[in-house]
Structure 1
Amino acid sequence: MNNKLKTSIFAGAIAIGALGMSGAAMAQVRVGINVGIPAPVYVAPQPVYAPPPPPVVYASPPPVYAAAPVVVIGWHGDRYWDGRRYWNRDDWYRYHGHGGHYDHRGY
């Protein structure tokens, strides 16, 4: 090969290499250092294990002491109490054999 051809091939290779290098020459190296407050991060609290509440205890009510009712057998106004029920005056006499009427004298 002749010398002129070798020189033109070599010059073409350098030109193509220079064109390829131009893209790399445009690349920039950037180094950034940031100093600041970090963003807040939520951290869930640890679970708290508490003992169960004590069982509910219901106390019985205190005993109530009351005086026994006084039972008075006899006439109360126009009714008679025999210890079980009240009788009307006419019912009392009718039931006890006075025929449904009574004498104002007491018998």
Structure 2
Amino acid sequence: MKISLGRDFFGRVYDRLSPNADLSPKWYCDRCSVEKNLQRDFRDIKGEFEKLTKGEASALGHADQIGRAKLRLKEIAAMLAADALKPALLKPEEVAALARALETRHA
């Protein structure tokens, strides 16, 4: 096993374990890996939005990051709506609710 570094939606580094022979680490099958990546981005955005609503320091405190987050949520919602995925980890209504909340707060 090896430790490799990944980056979250906001560019923060995190570590992950993967087999030594794995040059392009994936968590699951290709389709599941896509959903896992979408879920990770959704979770990162949601966590930062929760910090922002509590008045804490947040990566969403920067206008460029808010724009990126809104766009990413639209991309995630579009992929779920297009039935490109049969979501097991993400609920389309949760993605839509977060997108609306972010849009409302920073219209």
The TM-score by the shorter chain falls in which range?
Answer: under 0.3
- If each structure's helix is expressed as a fraction of its own residues, which one has the higher value? 2
- Name the TM-score, length of structure 1 as normaliser: 0.23
- Name the TM-score, length of structure 2 as normaliser: 0.23
Larger radius of gyration: 1
